[in-house]
């Protein structure tokens, strides 16, 4: 049995650390970890190739379906253009956040009805998820809560909010209706958070957000987003401790996107990002070991899932084509539709208007097809990278804005590369239970396993 | 902790290895050794499409629970 020639499997060997070598087919994400010091050629021929020969076709089909046939699952509603905050790194253009466009309740209901009909006709009645996203959805809290009550049997709901407008009774409503919530906190230190996330008049928001997080008191559908900049990157391990103390079940540590020029001077250096992000992961592991209570770093968990169960990943940024215009779309306050919230305000990516066009026509529009056409195979050096289908070279909107052509690698390429290497080390050391929800992990089944 | 060095086959040099020949004797000896290679794949039986989910808000309780 041969490899890397002709019709035989093509396997790439990568160094992971001093203990293991990774053998991977980057196209299917079939992988094997071989202890250093072993005769790797013998291991490939005697153990890895016989397994891959058995599962290769299935792996190929699975990845093909996942990358190119996944259907619409989420609609991001940017129902209100206004925001009560003026965060300097916001991905939504400032002039839009200053404007006062907002969907009326009747318009919102028309859109949600249309979403239900689309799901019925195209998804076999599978429930779509509606996420009320930017600019600040709780500025139209009454309309949103009415929508949740009216449509909760037909749709799932989530709210991504800056967290400053919650009242305690809102938290009760959200818990009662099982709405997923993402809120934002950038630092455990008030002065750092307040320098990044402030009102138009410059007032800080730390206390309001922390109070709201405490009201949620361990609510399992709460997720805190920390936007990582060069101002807070060194605090990521402390951020994890701070949120764990407040019973937050999961956090996303998202490097700031350079989609808007005003954010670019805040982008963290890749080396600092790697150092402190991995420090935050190690802190999360320590806390789990010490307390028995987990805090999951969602964007790292997604990478792990992308390796051990590629089609079960949740964040559709880490695969190409990304989820934009494929698994999700974003609707603005005037009904304009874009492949993702990151594209809002970029004219070339306007896919239609939800009040004039059908969702099917919008999904088939040229801008949506263009985003779906961005695959790592077209990007140098991603097309030869062993991690190309674990990383996906995000984010097209950011890269378009920064480089004028989205078929380029991510400005965080080095960070993603090192994070994936770290993920393989976690797998090699059998430590997944500290990084993925243990109950859910136990609920997963083996698709294949060496030795079976 | 993080350390940076030259890596193979990611953003660094691309070097392929390939099989040439291995003796039957070598094959038999390898088969007698204890298995030390790790390779597996999991699936989420409760999620749509055998695992497909989406951004941060999952569809099934098991799906959501991963994060």
**Pick from A101, A80, A135: nearest CA to A260:** A135
Using alpha carbons, select from B10, B35, B42, B19 the residue that is nearest to residue A6: B19
Q: What is the pLDDT of residue B4?
A: 46
The answer to whether B9 faces chain A, any CB pair under 8 Å, is yes
Residue B33 has, within 13 A of its CA and on its CB side, a CA count of 14
**Chain B within 8 Å of A3 (Cβ-Cβ)?**
yes
Binding-face residues of A in 139-198 toward B, CB within 8 A: 156, 158, 180, 182
Report ipTM for this prediction: 0.90
Give the integer Cα–Cα distance in Å for A299 and A140: 29
Q: Tell whether A43 lies on the interface with B, counting CB pairs under 8 A.
A: yes
The CA distance from A440 to A241, in Å, is 23
Question: Over 90: is that where the pLDDT of B36 sits?
Answer: no
pLDDT digits (tens, 9 = 90+) for A365-390: 999 999 999 999 999 999 999 999 99
Q: Which residues contact A27 (CB under 8 A, 6 or more apart)?
A: A10, A60, A63, A389
The residue among A29, A25, A26, A60 whose CA lies nearest residue A44 is: A25
Q: What is the distance of C-alpha B55 from the center of its chain?
A: 23
Encoded tokens for B47: 């999620």
The answer to whether residue B26 scores a pLDDT higher than 50 is: no
The 10 Å Cβ neighbour count of residue B36 is 13
Token pair listed for A155: 């749709």
Instruction: Nearest chain B residue to A277 by CA: give it.
Output: B2
Of A46, A274, A301, the CB nearest to B66: A301
Contacts of A210 (CB under 8 A, 6+ apart): A185, A246
Q: Which of A278, A283, A305, A279 is CA-nearest to residue A294?
A: A283
Contacts of A31 in chain B (CB under 8 A): 39
Start-to-end CA span in chain A (Å): 20
Q: How many residues does chain B have?
A: 67
Structure-token match 């779906």, residue found? A372
Instruction: Indicate yes or no: CB of B53 within 8 angstroms of CB of A73.
Output: yes
Q: What value does the CA radius of gyration of chain B take, rounded to a whole number of Å?
A: 21
State the pLDDT at residue A340.
93
pLDDT exceeds cutoff 50 at B60: no
pLDDT tens over chain A, length 452 residues: 789 999 899 999 999 998 999 999 999 999 999 999 999 999 999 999 999 999 999 999 999 988 998 889 889 999 999 999 999 898 888 888 888 889 999 999 999 999 999 999 998 878 888 999 989 999 999 999 999 999 999 998 999 999 999 999 999 999 999 898 999 999 999 999 999 999 999 999 999 999 999 999 999 889 899 999 999 999 999 999 999 999 999 899 999 999 888 899 999 999 999 999 999 999 999 999 999 999 999 889 889 989 998 888 777 888 999 999 998 999 999 999 999 998 988 899 999 999 999 999 999 999 999 999 999 999 999 999 999 999 999 999 999 999 999 999 999 999 999 999 999 999 999 999 999 887 777 777 899 999 76
d(Cα A402, Cα A149) in Å, to the nearest integer?
41
**Helix, strand, coil percentages in chain A from 3-state DSSP, rounded to 5:** 45, 15, 40
Size of interface A-B (CB pairs under 8 A): 224
Distance in Å from the first CA to the final CA of chain B: 24
CA dist A358 and A143 (Å) reads: 23
Q: What residue has token string 């529009």?
A: A365
Mean predicted confidence (pLDDT) in B2-11? 55
Which of B35, B46, B52 has its CB closest to that of A450? B35
The closest of A49, A78, A26 to A34, measured between CA atoms, is A49
Res. B52 pLDDT band, cuts 50 70 90: very low
CA distance to A196, A227, A238, per residue, from A162 (Å): 12, 12, 20
Q: Does B14 touch chain A (CB under 8 A)?
A: yes
Residues 211-250 of A with CB under 8 A from B: 220-221, 223, 250
Best probe of the B interface among A73, A249, A315, by most B CBs < 10 A, is A73
* Inter-axis angle of helices A270-291 and A413-428, nearest 10: 30
Cβ atoms B38, A427 nearer than 8 A: yes
Q: What angle do CA A395, A397, A403 make, to 5 degrees?
A: 95
> CB-side exposure of A327: number of CA atoms within 13 Å?
27
Quote the minimal CA–CA distance from A201 to chain B in Å: 31
Residue B56 has pLDDT above 50, yes or no: no
What pLDDT score was predicted for residue A211? 98
A421 in reach of chain B (CB within 8 A): yes
Give the residue on A whose Cα is nearest the Cα of B17. A4
Contacts of B1 in chain A (CB under 8 A): 275, 278-279, 282
Among B38, B45, B47, most A C-beta atoms within 10 A, so best to mutate, is B38
Asked if A229 contacts A267 with a C-beta cutoff of 8 angstroms, the reply is yes
């Amino acid at each position: 049995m041969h490899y890397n020639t002709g019709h035989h499997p093509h396997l790439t060997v990568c160094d992971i650390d001093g203990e293991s070598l990774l053998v991977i087919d980057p196209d299917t994400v079939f992988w094997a970890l071989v202890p250093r010091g072993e005769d790797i050629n013998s291991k490939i021929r005697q153990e890895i190739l016989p397994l891959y020969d058995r599962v290769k076709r299935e792996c190929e089909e699975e990845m093909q379906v996942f990358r190119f046939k996944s259907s619409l699952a989420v609609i991001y509603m940017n129902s209100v253009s206004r925001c009560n905050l003026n965060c300097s790194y916001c991905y939504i253009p400032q002039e839009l956040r200053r404007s006062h466009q907002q969907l009326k309740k009747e318009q919102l209901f028309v859109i949600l009805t249309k979403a239900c009909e689309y799901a019925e006709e195209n998804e076999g009645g599978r429930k779509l998820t509606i996420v009320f996203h930017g600019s600040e959805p709780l500025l139209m809290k009454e309309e949103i809560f009415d929508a949740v009550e009216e449509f909760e049997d037909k749709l799932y709901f989530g709210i991504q909010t800056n967290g400053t407008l919650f009242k305690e009774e809102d938290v009760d409503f959200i818990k009662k209706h099982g709405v997923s919530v993402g809120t934002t906190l950038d630092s455990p230190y008030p002065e750092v958070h307040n320098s990044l996330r402030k009102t138009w008049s410059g007032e800080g928001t730390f206390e309001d957000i922390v109070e709201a997080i405490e009201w949620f008191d361990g609510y399992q559908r709460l997720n805190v987003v920390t936007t990582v900049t060069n101002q807070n990157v060194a605090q990521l391990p402390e951020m994890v401790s701070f949120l764990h103390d407040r019973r937050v079940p999961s956090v996303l540590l998202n490097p700031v996107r350079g989609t808007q020029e005003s954010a670019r001077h805040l982008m963290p250096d890749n080396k600092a990002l790697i150092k402190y992000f991995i420090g935050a992961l190690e802190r999360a592991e320590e806390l789990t070991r010490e307390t028995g209570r987990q805090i999951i770093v969602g964007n790292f968990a997604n990478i792990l899932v992308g390796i051990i169960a590629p089609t079960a990943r949740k964040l559709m940024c880490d695969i190409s084509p990304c989820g934009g215009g494929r698994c999700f779309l974003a609707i603005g306050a005037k009904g304009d539709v874009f492949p993702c919230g990151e594209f809002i305000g970029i004219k070339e990516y306007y896919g239609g208007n939800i009040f004039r066009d059908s969702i099917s026509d919008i999904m088939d529009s040229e801008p949506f097809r263009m985003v779906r056409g961005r695959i790592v195979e077209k990007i140098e050096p991603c097309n030869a990278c062993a991690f190309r289908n674990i990383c996906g070279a995000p984010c097209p909107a950011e890269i378009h804005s920064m480089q004028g052509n989205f078929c380029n690698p991510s400005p965080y390429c080095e960070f993603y590369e090192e994070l994936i290497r770290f993920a393989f080390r976690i797998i090699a050391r059998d430590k997944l239970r500290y990084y993925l929800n243990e109950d859910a992990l136990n609920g997963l089944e083996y698709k294949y396993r060496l030795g079976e | 902790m993080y350390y940076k060095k030259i890596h193979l086959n990611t953003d660094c040099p691309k070097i392929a290895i390939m099989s040439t020949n291995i003796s039957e004797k070598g094959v038999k000896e390898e088969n007698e050794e204890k298995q030390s290679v790790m390779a597996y794949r999991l699936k989420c039986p409760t999620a749509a499409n055998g695992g497909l989910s989406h951004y941060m808000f999952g569809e099934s309780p098991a799906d959501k629970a991963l994060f």
